[in-house]
């Protein structure tokens, strides 16, 4: 049920975000989504792609330090209050979120939340008990064009 | 050469090393005899030396004991530049068989000359260097010191040949070829700058070559200061014994001093190069054991004698007998140079101090660079550190924590604030020769 997320280190200066994305695009790898966490000085680019092993190898060959993290995807109805309800359920379960980001699917009426937990297995358990739908890799990438 | 008659196979005593074991009294006799001769030669043949001695009212026959060397004037690097190119030569060009020159990072290079005898002395001291590093006939030496005007390449080359080893004159650079040759030619020893060798290790890892599985067992490193922690890393990553050697073109090139198996200071080949330690501020001689600037006098150089040359290298002279049995004195490993040092906000800083702080936090030495700048008249020090796989995290907080710990470690050692920047892997230029650790933009 867990997804493999690629993270890579970027300096916070013009043009740095484009370079790794070009490497991925040149290999014909489609991005499901991305998130950029940044400080004044550096950024961490996080990517969700179907062919994560190939993307990791290509990025490392091009000189980036790439880290693989297991994250958990949950889908929520794409309507006002959808996210709030999901977060309420999470808080009730007492789960600690390291960070999260969200995106809407191109087709359909759902938004996907990506969570980074310290213990993803325990979190999946709790999420399901709380009645949330955890989306596995296979299901998620069905939405890819 | 008489090497054929000696036991110079692995494990045996190498004949080249014989002068390293002279009884002290005999060594001092040799030194005094040679000192008198070189001072007389410098006085007779080199205008600068003669005028400096006359200014001080010293004549060659005033040198009656080794202590009298303190009466002689110092020579500094600027003297070589001011007399560029041939002003300090004591031999006619017809007796000079070789010229070398320093890289000359600021202005004119300096030129150094060798007679046939000088080249023989150089080969001898480099053979003694390699013997001290445990090399023998039968060793295959990959010489990655640069060939050309730089003294490193040819100095190591002649020494390894004099020892009876097999030399591969590959010179510096072209790292992939270095690794191929190292593997395919059964290389057992390699000469390089330590910073270049760490680059070789890094590249071998990328190419999937296991350095530890190769026959390579000895690394001979010099031409720049490197820390004990860097040595430990090199030894662990490459599965070799790493030796520190010391030398400078103005004196002869590599071959002035070398570590032995005890790795407890570098033996100065003091039958050819007389060492003193002085207070860099006052110029006063300091006793054995005290830290100060190393000053060297060439005792047997013909083409270009150097009298009391100020090396700017900070070390101390060890008199105690070494575990290896050599009687020649040792200098402590040189961690800093009095001119490598920079002053920021009144604080003296050596790059090795920054290196020690980075190592303490990361466990290994990342690639780094110190950048000095001036903002509204105030000096700023930035340290750029490449992010390694070991410290990288997908969490901002974890990376901020690494950054803060690195900055804190440096600030703790130096006592001044630094702007620590994490930068992308391989964004800092890799050196093929001496690593450029400090970029000073304060007067740009």
Q: Do both A44 and A54 map to the same domain?
A: yes
pTM: 0.69
B233: nearest Cα among B383, B390, B436, B419: B390
For tokens 């040819």, the residue is B154
- Domain count along chain A: 2
Please give the residue range of the domain that contains residue A29.
Answer: 2-69
The single-letter DSSP state of residue B91 is: S
Report the percentage of chain A scoring pLDDT > 90: 50
Q: Do both A54 and A76 map to the same domain?
A: no
Selected for mutation to probe chain B from A2, A4, A9 (highest B CB count within 10 Å) is A9
Say whether B392 and A9 touch across the interface (CB within 8 A). Answer: yes
Give me the residue from B387, B394, B425 closest to A46, CB to CB. Answer: B394
Give me the residue from A39, A63, A67 closest to B393, CB to CB. Answer: A67
Q: Do both A96 and A36 map to the same domain?
A: no
Asked if A10 contacts A63 with a C-beta cutoff of 8 angstroms, the reply is no
Say whether A10 and B392 touch across the interface (CB within 8 A). Answer: no
Within a 13 Å sphere around the CA of B193, how many CA atoms are in the beta-carbon half?
20
Instruction: Supply B335's token pair.
Output: 């961690």
Closest residue in B to A100 (Cα–Cα) = B395
Q: Do both A97 and A41 map to the same domain?
A: no
**CA–CA min distance A31, chain B (Å):** 18
Portions of chain B given CATH number 3.30.300.30: 342-440
Return the CATH class of domain B342-440.
alpha beta
Stated as kind and residue range, the H or E segment containing B351 is: helix B351-362
Q: Do both A124 and A78 map to the same domain?
A: yes
B211: nearest Cα among B203, B429, B157: B203
What pLDDT digit, counting tens, does each position of A21-70 carry? 999 999 999 899 999 998 888 999 999 999 999 999 999 999 899 999 99
User: Is B332 within 8 Å of chain A by CB?
Assistant: no
Residue B228 CA to residue B332 CA, distance in Å, equals: 12
Within a 13 Å sphere around the CA of B366, how many CA atoms are in the beta-carbon half?
30
Say whether A10 and B424 touch across the interface (CB within 8 A). Answer: yes
Domain boundary residue, one of A69, A84, A108: A69
Neighbours of B88 (CB within 10 A): 26
- For residue B327, give the 3-state DSSP assignment: coil
CB contacts of A114 in chain B (<8 Å) are none
B362: nearest Cα among B395, B394, B390, B399: B390
Residue A57 neighbours by CB under 8 Å, 6+ apart: none
Instruction: Supply B138's token pair.
Output: 């039968």
User: Is A11 within 8 Å of chain B by CB?
Assistant: yes
C-alpha pair distances (Å), B129 with each of A11, B83, B101, B263: 45, 31, 22, 13
Residues of chain B falling short of pLDDT 50: 1-6, 104-106
Closest residue in A to B423 (Cα–Cα) = A11
User: Is A5 within 8 Å of chain B by CB?
Assistant: yes
Residue B374 neighbours by CB under 8 Å, 6+ apart: B380, B441, B442, B443
Phi, psi of B267 (to 5 degrees): -70, 125
Residue B102 CA to residue A57 CA, distance in Å, equals: 43
**CA–CA min distance A130, chain B (Å):** 26
Q: Do both A82 and A46 map to the same domain?
A: no
Q: Do both A13 and A52 map to the same domain?
A: yes
Domain boundary residue, one of A69, A90, A123: A69
Closest residue in A to B426 (Cα–Cα) = A63
Say whether B425 and A99 touch across the interface (CB within 8 A). Answer: no
Q: Do both A92 and A59 map to the same domain?
A: no
User: Is B403 within 8 Å of chain A by CB?
Assistant: yes
Asked if A85 contacts A15 with a C-beta cutoff of 8 angstroms, the reply is no
The single-letter DSSP state of residue B320 is: S
Q: Enumerate residues 39 to 98 of chain A having a beta carbon within 8 A of any beta carbon in chain B.
A: 39, 41-42, 44, 46, 63-65, 67, 69, 98
β strands within B261-366, DSSP E: 266-268, 273-278, 285-286, 291-298, 309-318, 330-331, 336-337, 342-344, 347-349
Q: Do both A82 and A32 map to the same domain?
A: no
Q: Do both A76 and A129 map to the same domain?
A: yes
Closest residue in A to B385 (Cα–Cα) = A11
- SS3 of B367-385: the string is CEEEEEEEECCEEEEEEEE
Q: Do both A74 and A63 map to the same domain?
A: no
Fold of B1-339: Rossmann fold (3.40.50)
User: What is the rounded (10 degree) CA torsion for A60, A65, A70, A75?
Assistant: -80
Portions of chain B given CATH number 3.40.50.12780: 1-339
Q: What is the CATH number of the domain that holds A90?
A: 3.30.2130.10
**CA–CA min distance A65, chain B (Å):** 6
Domain boundary residue, one of A69, A90, A117: A69
Asked if B212 contacts B244 with a C-beta cutoff of 8 angstroms, the reply is no
Asked if B125 contacts B119 with a C-beta cutoff of 8 angstroms, the reply is no
Q: Do both A61 and A91 map to the same domain?
A: no
């Amino acid at each position: 049920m867990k997804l493999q997320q690629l993270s890579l280190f970027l300096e916070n200066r013009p043009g740095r975000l484009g370079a790794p994305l070009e490497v991925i695009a040149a290999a014909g790898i489609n991005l499901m989504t991305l998130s950029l966490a940044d400080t004044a000085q550096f950024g961490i680019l996080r990517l969700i792609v179907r062919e994560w092993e190939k993307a990791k190898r290509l990025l490392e060959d091009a000189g980036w330090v790439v880290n693989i993290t297991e994250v958990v995807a949950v889908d929520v109805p794409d309507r006002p209050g959808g996210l709030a309800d999901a977060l309420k359920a999470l808080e009730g379960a007492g789960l600690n979120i390291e960070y999260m980001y969200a995106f809407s699917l191109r087709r359909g009426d759902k938004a996907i939340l990506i969570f980074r937990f310290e213990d993803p297995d325990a979190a999946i358990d709790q999420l399901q008990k709380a009645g949330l739908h955890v989306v596995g890799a296979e299901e998620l990438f069905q939405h890819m064009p | 050469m008489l090497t054929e008659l000696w036991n110079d196979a692995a494990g045996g005593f190498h004949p080249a090393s014989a002068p390293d074991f002279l009884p002290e009294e005999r060594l001092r006799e040799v030194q005094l005899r040679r000192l008198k001769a070189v001072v007389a030669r410098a006085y007779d043949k080199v205008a600068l030396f003669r005028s400096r001695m006359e200014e001080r009212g010293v004549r060659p026959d005033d040198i009656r004991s080794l202590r009298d060397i303190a009466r002689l004037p110092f020579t500094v690097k600027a003297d070589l530049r001011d007399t560029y190119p041939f002003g300090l030569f004591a031999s006619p060009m017809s007796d000079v068989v070789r010229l070398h020159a320093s890289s000359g990072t600021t202005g004119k290079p300096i030129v150094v000359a060798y007679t046939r005898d000088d080249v023989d002395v150089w080969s001898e001291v480099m053979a003694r260097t390699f013997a001290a590093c445990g090399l023998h006939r039968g060793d295959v030496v990959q010489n990655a010191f640069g060939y050309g005007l730089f003294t490193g390449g040819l100095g190591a080359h002649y020494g390894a040949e004099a020892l009876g080893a097999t030399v591969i004159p590959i010179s510096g650079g072209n790292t992939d070829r270095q690794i191929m040759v190292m593997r395919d030619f059964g290389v057992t020893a390699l000469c390089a700058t330590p910073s270049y060798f760490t680059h070789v290790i890094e590249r071998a890892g990328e190419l999937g070559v296991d350095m530890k599985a190769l026959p390579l067992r000895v690394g001979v490193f010099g031409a720049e200061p490197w820390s004990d922690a860097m040595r430990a890393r090199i030894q662990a990553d490459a599965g070799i014994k790493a030796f520190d050697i010391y030398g400078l073109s103005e004196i002869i090139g590599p071959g002035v001093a070398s570590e032995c198996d005890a790795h407890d200071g570098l033996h100065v080949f003091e039958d050819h190069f007389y060492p003193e330690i002085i207070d860099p501020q006052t110029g006063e001689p300091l006793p054995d054991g005290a830290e100060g600037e190393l000053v060297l006098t060439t005792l047997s150089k013909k083409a270009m004698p150097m009298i009391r040359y100020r090396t700017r290298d900070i070390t101390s002279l060890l008199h105690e007998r070494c575990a290896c049995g050599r009687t020649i004195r040792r200098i402590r490993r040189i961690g800093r140079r009095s001119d490598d040092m920079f002053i920021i906000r009144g604080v003296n800083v050596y790059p090795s101090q920054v290196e020690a702080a980075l190592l303490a936090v990361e466990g290994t030495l990342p690639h780094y660079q110190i950048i000095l700048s001036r903002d509204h008249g105030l000096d700023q020090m930035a340290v750029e550190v490449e992010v390694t796989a070991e410290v990288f995290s997908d969490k901002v907080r974890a990376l901020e924590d690494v950054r803060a710990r690195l900055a804190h470690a440096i600030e703790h050692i130096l006592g001044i604030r630094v702007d620590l920047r994490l930068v992308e892997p391989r964004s800092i230029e890799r050196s093929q020769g001496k690593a450029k650790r400090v970029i000073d933009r304060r007067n740009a």
